[in-house]
């Protein structure tokens, strides 16, 4: 099998591989060639595919055991919009009930704003529970992401301040529209319009 001078065995690529295969079959027989082909080529490829499949199955089992549903970034954005549509009416109702029908003093306005902020934050936080069990592939839980945005951007404080200062005599429908718009801007990292 030592044909160092044979150019066919020294050629790279497919022709060289076929030449080697023909030489092996001719020298050792088809059975030995097939065993070598399986051991050296097919089995390592199969093992690599098996390892990848095993890793995927383990990840899926982990997700199922945690009771989570994976969502894409686009689905996460849609869930955020649905969250805004679901929570805005309740926020507007709380504002409508809390806002006084007539003018109040600056001290009363500050107290009202603090009370309203707590009330709005309660609504915002409780409603994030609706999204528990939904996760992004590598970024974590959807509900935690929303909770983080609400606290980090102080959304309830901004809404309470705007309600007391800018919207004190708005109707419930106007409050609903302004809540939706404000939430949309706040969640999209866009500064609230002044």
What confidence score (pLDDT) does residue 70 get?
74
Say if residue 179's pLDDT is above 90. Answer: yes
Say if residue 7's pLDDT is above 60. Answer: no
The residue ranges of DSSP E strands in 65-166, in sequence order, are 69-71, 134-136, 140-141
Helices (DSSP H) in 29-105: which residue ranges? 30-37, 43-65, 73-98
Confidence of residue 54 (pLDDT cuts 50, 70, 90): confident
* Strand partners of residue 174: none
Q: What tens digit of pLDDT does each residue of 14-49 get?
A: 677 778 777 877 887 878 778 877 777 788 887 888
Say if residue 11's pLDDT is above 60. Answer: no
The helix/strand/coil state of 69 is strand
Separation CA 14–CA 42 (nearest Å): 17
Element housing 185 (H / E): helix 172-187
* pTM (global) more than 0.85: no
């Amino acid at each position: 099998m030592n044909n160092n001078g044979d150019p066919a065995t020294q050629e790279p690529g497919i022709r060289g591989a076929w030449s080697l295969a023909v030489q092996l079959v001719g020298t050792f027989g088809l059975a030995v060639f097939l065993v070598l082909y399986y051991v050296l080529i097919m089995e390592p490829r199969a093992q690599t595919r098996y390892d990848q499949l095993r890793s995927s199955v383990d990840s899926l089992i982990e997700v199922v055991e945690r009771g989570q549903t994976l969502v894409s970034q686009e689905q996460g954005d849609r869930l955020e919009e649905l969250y805004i549509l679901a929570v805005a009416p309740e926020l507007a109702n709380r504002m409508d009930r809390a806002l006084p029908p007539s003018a109040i003093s600056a001290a009363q306005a500050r107290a009202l704003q603090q009370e309203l902020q707590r009330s709005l934050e309660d609504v915002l936080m409780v409603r994030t529970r609706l999204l528990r069990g939904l996760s992004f592939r590598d970024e974590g839980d959807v509900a935690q992401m929303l909770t983080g945005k609400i606290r980090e951007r102080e959304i309830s404080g901004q809404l309470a301040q705007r309600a007391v200062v800018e919207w004190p005599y708005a109707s419930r429908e106007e409050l609903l529209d302004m809540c939706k718009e404000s939430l949309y801007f706040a969640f999209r990292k866009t500064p609230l319009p002044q």
